[in-house]
């Protein structure tokens, strides 16, 4: 006599050893390969009053700031983004970094903030292409100038 067990009960599924179901993949294969973009940056106190007060240089370890990480974001025309976190070196108010990009062709928009500093912002550099070496101003205490919008 043959008994059927588990009617109505769920049992863990077992793999048949074949390839995973492509519908369950992460979708990462659909994204284009990434490239990188080099950027020179400088850290400035603020750019306020619609750009008339451009601030002055400030070191990453200034007691009023104590910045440890800069967060750069590159975004492409399809609104895909890539984020690169870079250490903010002590006793420095400028530096350079190699950033990840969401694709290999661009154009890209580049911006940055200081990790943990909600008032920080940067200029927004637009229409960048791989191979460009832009210079980005990062503002520790805010920016209301058109270049930051």
Residue 5 has pLDDT above 50, yes or no: no
Most confidently modeled range among 81-85, 129-133, 144-148 = 81-85
Hey, what are 109's tokens? 């928009």
Query: Taking a C-beta distance cutoff of 8 angstroms, is the pair 117, 65 a contact?
Result: yes
Model pLDDT for residues 72-112, shown as the tens digit of each residue: 999 999 999 999 999 999 999 999 999 999 999 999 999 99
Confidence grade of residue 51 (pLDDT, cut at 50, 70, 90): low
Domains parsed from the chain with CATH numbers? 33-139 (2.60.40)
Dihedral sign from CA coordinates of 90, 94, 96, 101: positive
Query: Taking a C-beta distance cutoff of 8 angstroms, is the pair 74, 43 a contact?
Result: no
Query: Taking a C-beta distance cutoff of 8 angstroms, is the pair 53, 120 a contact?
Result: no
* Rounded CA separation 13/6 (Å): 13
Please give the DSSP secondary-structure letter assigned to residue 21: P
Closest of 44, 36, 38, 35 to residue 147, by C-alpha: 44
- What's the whole-number average pLDDT of the chain? 81
Whole-number Cα distances in Å, 69 to 60, 112, 114: 9, 10, 6
Mean pLDDT over 51-71 rounds to 88
Residue 9 has pLDDT above 80, yes or no: no
Residue 29 has pLDDT above 90, yes or no: no
């Amino acid at each position: 006599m043959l008994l059927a067990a588990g009617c109505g009960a769920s049992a863990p599924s077992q793999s048949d050893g074949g390839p995973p179901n492509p519908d369950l993949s992460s979708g990462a294969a659909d994204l284009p390969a990434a490239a990188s973009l080099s950027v020179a940056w400088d850290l400035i106190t603020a750019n306020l009053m619609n750009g008339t007060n451009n601030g002055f240089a400030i070191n990453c370890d200034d007691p009023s700031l104590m910045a440890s990480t800069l967060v750069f974001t590159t975004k492409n025309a399809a609104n895909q983004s890539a984020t690169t976190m870079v250490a903010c070196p002590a006793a420095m108010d400028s530096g350079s970094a190699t950033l990840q990009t969401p694709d290999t062709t661009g154009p890209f928009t580049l911006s940055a903030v200081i990790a943990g500093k909600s008032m920080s912002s940067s200029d927004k550099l637009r229409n960048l292409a791989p191979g460009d070496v832009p210079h980005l101003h990062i503002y520790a205490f805010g920016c209301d100038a058109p270049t930051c919008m």
